[in-house]
Every structure is written in structure tokens, then in C-alpha cells.
Amino acid sequence: MVTVTWSDDALSDVANIAEYVSQDSVRYANRLVSRFFDRAEILTKFPHVGRVVPELGDEDVRELIEGKYRIIYEVLDENSVTILNVVHSARRFPPELS
């Protein structure tokens, strides 16, 4: 089984998204956060399931789509994956491409 680790940046992204969404609905914000973590669970069995992030073109940097959000992750080796960022699909990734 693959170990999935969330980076500090990714956790901060999730917290910021939850804070923003909770301005309209705390219930939906909580549900959205749960969906991010539930979606990432697939990586414990299938680390290459996501598509390659088109802006980067690196086979090891991939993304899962959850609603309007991109869960960006890196496959470090056959046993470990790190979630790098969670970004709204309308935002540029990485930010330096802006």
C-alpha cells in the first residue's frame, strides 16, 4: 500500500478553501474537505490514477479532479505520494505561470 502524505501547502490550501466556502455554508465546506481527503484515498492503491498536470508535463506530478478543484500530487516512488496543492480549476497552476 502506498503512503499518502499531505504537504503543509496542501493542508493550508484546504483550510483556505474551507474558510472561503464556509462564508456561505459551513455544512458544504465540511463536506468539501471530506471529499478532498476521500478522493485522495484512491492513491493508496493506484498512485498513477491521475492525469499528468498539463502545465508541468512531469510524469510524476499528477492531479485528481474533485468537483471544481485540482488535487495536485507527486509520485515520489512506488511506496509514497505527496499531495502538493489543492487549487480551484479556474486558478493558474503553478502560480508563477500567471
Residue 95: predicted pLDDT:
62
Residue 91: predicted pLDDT:
84
Residue 98: predicted pLDDT:
38
| Tens-digit pLDDT string for the chain (98 aa) | 999 999 999 999 999 999 999 999 999 999 999 999 999 999 999 999 999 999 889 999 999 999 999 999 999 999 999 999 999 998 877 665 43
CA angle 5, 46, 54 (to 5 degrees): 80
Residue 77: predicted pLDDT:
94
Residue 96: predicted pLDDT:
56
Query: Which of the listed CATH numbers 3.30.2310.20, 2.40.50.140, 2.130.10.10, 3.30.565.10 matches domain 3-97?
Result: 3.30.2310.20
- Collapsing DSSP to helix, strand or coil, 3 comes out as strand
Q: What is the DSSP string of 30-77?
A: HHHHHHHHHHHGGGGT-TT-SEE-TTT--TTEEEEEETTEEEEEEEEE
Starting at the edge strand found earlier in the chain, the sheet holding 61-66 runs 3-6, 80-88, 69-77, 61-66, 51-52
